[in-house]
Each structure stands twice: as structure tokens, then as C-alpha cells.
């Protein structure tokens, strides 16, 4: 049984189909979208495990593989994949099909956005993180020496098929990294969902089909509603970055070499955002501690000390935060919390106060 979510952008509506067997259930849509010359960009590790399932639905499309890992989102990979897509004859009316996690989707999506000035994009996400977040909403990007996702484009997919059966082979650490984004949707705007995760989070992480499909569907509906209102992040869509300004800075210090995963950075970043919110008087005393306990219960890191291999120098973290895409006229913007389940965009934040806070965070012991 699958569940459908619609992203209702005027003139560019698309379907998100969720559940075990979603890939097979999308066969008619996939055949239509790849009727003109198209190609698949696949994570090589994912393909090694799931090529039979992919080829059952898309047996004849040219296949381009990319390595796993954040380092793949580079200028060189973007150039290489673009050249291979052109060699494969992909036309503007055809599709680039992304098969893998968030790295593959971001890279393939950016290639699709720019190839022949824009061709169709189909997302077949295979990690929990990509299923609840990066596959929906049209953000595509690569990383640069200056930071994460700083070169990219908004390019909406034409179809997202979220087949939850692929998660059965996902390493536990990767599953937890995706779960951080699930928690995010509750924290930023849905206190009832946050409470539900407190009760059913173990079932989600155990890949219980009904709980897993529900968690992904709620997350996708929340993102679809925000994207429909604010596609290019001029206002409310910035809320989706809860925890990301802090988290991306931690990732940058890790040089995207696998010492910290994106979702792990987001988990720490969300808890830091909660603590900073409480420190600044926005969040009631004790709420940050309660939120940290919810995140930690799943097994995710919540403090800088939880990733001891990554430097926690406050000045360097602040430098990375200055590269955040929400910085406006040199002024830093953070996504903070009024309560658990209600986030807001906090502009013109005082860097001296942030630096003091980062110093405090660097001194916190492991939970």
C-alpha cells in the first residue's frame, strides 16, 4: 500500500508516492517521463544492492554511476556527469533520473537544471534523509571550498518515488541521520507530530511499514506546503533550515570526509538552536533540555563533544556560519524556536553573542 502526496506548484505540480513498492507503482509515470532520451545517475553502492529492482522498471536507460559520499558533490563530478549525460544523448524533453541518497539527488538535480538549460528530473531516493527532505522541493547543489550547497539551482522534479523497501539495506547510522530531518519537521511546526515521534519513533527506526510510511508522508506534506508557499526561500521556506546553519558549519569543519553525516550535523545544530533560543529568552527554560533528550533517545549526537574528531573552535565555526545562504547584507539569520513545534526566522543576529554561545557549546561534555 502506497500513499500519495502532491506538491501543488502552479503549472508544475508533481506526485510524491510513498511506501513499499512505490517504484513499481510508478512504472507508468516513469515510462512517460523517460519516453524521450533520458539517463540514470546512480550511487554506485546503492546500485550494487538494488540494480535488479531499478532495471525491472527502467531496463534500457543509459546508466552513469557516482561514488557515495559528500565529496561527490563537487565541481569535478558536476562536469563529469554533465558530459556523460550529453554523451548519452539526454534531450531537454527527457529526464535525468537520480537513484540514490541526497548526494546523488543534489548532484544529478543540478546537472538536470543546467543540462541544455534545463531538462526533467525524476527522484528515486534510497535513504531516509533524501526521502523526507532533499528529494522534495527542488533544491539542487554542489559543495565548494567555501561551504556546503553554495552553488546550485531551484529545479523541481517531475516525479518522486519513495520506495521504503530500499531502507532495509541502509546502515543504521545513515537511517539515524535521516531521522534527524524527520524530527525537524515536528520541531519547526508540528508539536503533535513531535509528540507522535516520542511515542512511535522506535517503530519508525525499526522500519515498521505503517509507522515509517506515516512519518515520511507527514514530513513530505509539511515540506510540500512550505515549498508551495515559498518556492525559492524568500520567506517561510527558510524555516526548513532549522539546525542547518550550525550543522553546516560543523560539517564544513569535518571537510565532508564522513566523520560527520549531514543528518548528524543537523541533529546537533537543532539542539544548539534550541539552546540558543532558550539563552536568548525565546524558548521557555527546560525546553531545550527536553528536546535534547528526544533527539538523544534515538541515538543521534546532540553536542559538539559527540564528534571529537572534528575541531570545535568557535571562531572557525562562526566563519563557516557567515557563508550561510540566509546571510543578508552581512547580517546573520538563524532559525530559532518560540516553543517546541514553532520556529521563526530571527534576522540580524549579534555575532558577538553567537560567538560567546559557540564558546559555551565547545565546553559542553558528551551527554
Which residue among the candidates 50, 184, 221, 244 is catalytic per the annotation? Answer: 244
φ and ψ at residue 39, rounded to 5 degrees: -155, 160
Which residue among the candidates 117, 172, 199, 234 is catalytic per the annotation? Answer: 117
Active site residue 231: no
Which residue among the candidates 84, 262, 325, 326 is catalytic per the annotation? Answer: 262
Is 139 annotated for ligand binding?
A: yes
Neighbours of 192 (CB within 10 A): 10
Beta-bridge partners for 147: 144
CA separation (Å) from 315 to 176, 245, 311? 29, 14, 11
Is 166 annotated for ligand binding?
A: yes
Q: Are the beta carbons of 78 and 142 closer than 8 angstroms?
A: yes
Is 69 annotated for ligand binding?
A: yes
Active site residue 139: yes
Is 167 annotated for ligand binding?
A: yes
Active site residue 282: no
Is 127 annotated for ligand binding?
A: yes
Which residue among the candidates 50, 84, 221, 248 is catalytic per the annotation? Answer: 248
Is 265 annotated for ligand binding?
A: no
Active site residue 241: yes
Which residue among the candidates 223, 275, 320, 325 is catalytic per the annotation? Answer: 223
Which residue among the candidates 17, 84, 139, 326 is catalytic per the annotation? Answer: 139
Of 246, 244, 188, 245, which Cα lies nearest the Cα of 219?
A: 188
Active site residue 316: no
Residue 132 CA to residue 149 CA, distance in Å, equals: 18
Active site residue 248: yes
Which residue among the candidates 174, 214, 231, 233 is catalytic per the annotation? Answer: 233
Q: Are the beta carbons of 156 and 135 closer than 8 angstroms?
A: no
Is 104 annotated for ligand binding?
A: yes
The string over 59-85, giving b where at least 16 C-beta atoms fall within 10 Å of a residue's C-beta and e elsewhere, is eebebbbbebebebbbeebbebbbebb
Query: Would you give the DSSP letter of residue 134?
Result: I
Is 262 annotated for ligand binding?
A: yes
Is 60 annotated for ligand binding?
A: no
Which residue among the candidates 181, 231, 251, 292 is catalytic per the annotation? Answer: 181
Active site residue 117: yes
Cβ-based burial of 172 (10 A; exposed 0-12, middle 13-18, buried ≥19): exposed
Is 106 annotated for ligand binding?
A: yes
Is 338 annotated for ligand binding?
A: no
Is 244 annotated for ligand binding?
A: yes
Which residue among the candidates 50, 184, 200, 237 is catalytic per the annotation? Answer: 237
Is 16 annotated for ligand binding?
A: no
φ and ψ at residue 41, rounded to 5 degrees: -110, 120
Active site residue 237: yes
Is 95 annotated for ligand binding?
A: no
Residue 156 CA to residue 136 CA, distance in Å, equals: 8
Grid cell locating 347? 534576522
Is 126 annotated for ligand binding?
A: yes
Is 74 annotated for ligand binding?
A: no
Is 103 annotated for ligand binding?
A: yes
Is 65 annotated for ligand binding?
A: no
Instruction: Please report the DSSP string for 36-98 in residue order.
Output: SS-EEEEEHHHHHHHHHHHHHHS-SS-EEEE-SSGGGSSHHHHHHHHHHHHHTT--TTSEEEE
Q: Residues annotated in the binding site, as ranges?
A: 68-73, 102-106, 126-127, 139, 148, 166-169, 181, 244, 262
Which residues are known catalytic residues?
A: 117, 139, 181, 223, 233, 237, 241, 244, 248, 262
Q: Residues annotated in the binding site for Zn(2+), as ranges?
A: 181, 244, 262
Q: Residues annotated in the binding site for NAD(+), as ranges?
A: 68-73, 102-106, 126-127, 139, 148, 166-169
Amino acid at each position: 500500500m502506497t500513499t500519495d502526496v502532491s506538491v501543488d506548484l502552479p503549472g508544475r505540480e508533481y506526485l510524491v508516492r510513498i511506501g513499499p513498492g512505490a517504484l513499481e507503482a510508478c512504472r507508468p509515470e516513469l515510462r512517460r517521463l523517460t519516453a524521450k532520451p533520458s539517463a540514470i545517475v546512480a550511487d554506485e553502492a546503492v546500485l550494487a544492492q538494488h540494480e535488479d529492482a531499478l532495471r525491472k522498471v527502467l531496463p534500457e536507460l543509459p546508466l552513469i554511476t557516482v561514488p557515495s559520499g559528500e565529496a561527490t558533490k563537487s565541481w569535478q563530478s558536476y562536469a563529469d556527469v554533465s558530459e556523460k549525460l550529453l554523451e548519452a544523448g539526454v534531450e531537454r524533453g527527457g529526464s535525468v533520473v537520480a537513484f540514490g541518497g541526497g548526494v546523488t539527488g543534489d548532484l544529478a538535480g543540478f546537472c538536470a537544471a543546467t543540462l541544455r538549460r534545463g531538462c526533467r528530473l525524476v527522484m528515486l531516493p534510497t535513504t531516509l534523509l533524501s526521502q523526507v527532505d532533499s528529494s522534495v522541493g527542488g533544491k539542487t547543489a554542489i559543495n565548494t571550498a567555501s561551504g556546503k550547497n553554495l552553488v546550485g539551482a531551484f529545479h523541481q522534479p517531475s516525479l518522486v518515488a519513495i520506495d521504503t523497501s530500499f531502507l532495509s539495506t541502509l546502515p543504521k547510522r545513515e537511517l539515524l541521520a535521516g531521522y534527524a530531518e524527520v524530527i525537524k519537521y515536528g520541531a519547526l511546526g508540528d508539536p503533535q507530530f513531535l509528540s507522535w515521534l516520542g511515542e512511535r519513533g522506535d517503530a519508525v527506526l525499526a522500519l515498521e511499514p505503517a509507522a515509517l510510511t506515516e512519518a515520511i508522508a507527514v514530513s513530505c506534506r509539511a515540506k510540500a506546503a512550505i515549498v508551495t508557499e515559498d518556492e525559492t526561500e524568500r520567506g517561510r521556506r527558510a524555516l526548513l533550515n532549522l539546525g542547518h546553519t550550525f550543522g553546516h558549519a560543523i560539517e564544513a569543519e569535518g571537510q565532508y570526509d564522513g566523520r560527520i553525516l549531514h543528518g548528524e550535523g543537523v541533529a546537533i545544530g537543532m539542539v544548539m538552536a534550541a539552546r540558543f533560543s532558550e539563552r536568548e529568552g525565546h524558548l521557555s527554560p527546560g525546553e531545550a533540555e527536553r528536546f535534547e533528550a528526544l533527539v538523544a533517545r534515538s541515538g543521534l549526537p546532540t553536542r559538539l563533544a559527540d564528534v571529537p574528531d572534528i575541531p570545535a573552535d568557535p571562531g572557525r565555526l562562526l566563519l563557516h556560519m557567515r557563508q550561510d545562504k540566509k546571510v543578508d547584507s552581512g547580517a546573520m539569520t538563524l532559525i530559532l524556536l518560540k516553543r517546541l513545534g514553532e520556529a521563526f526566522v530571527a534576522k540580524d543576529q549579534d555575532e558577538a553573542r553567537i560567538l560567546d554561545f559557540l564558546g559555551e557549546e565547545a565546553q559542553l561534555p558528551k551527554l
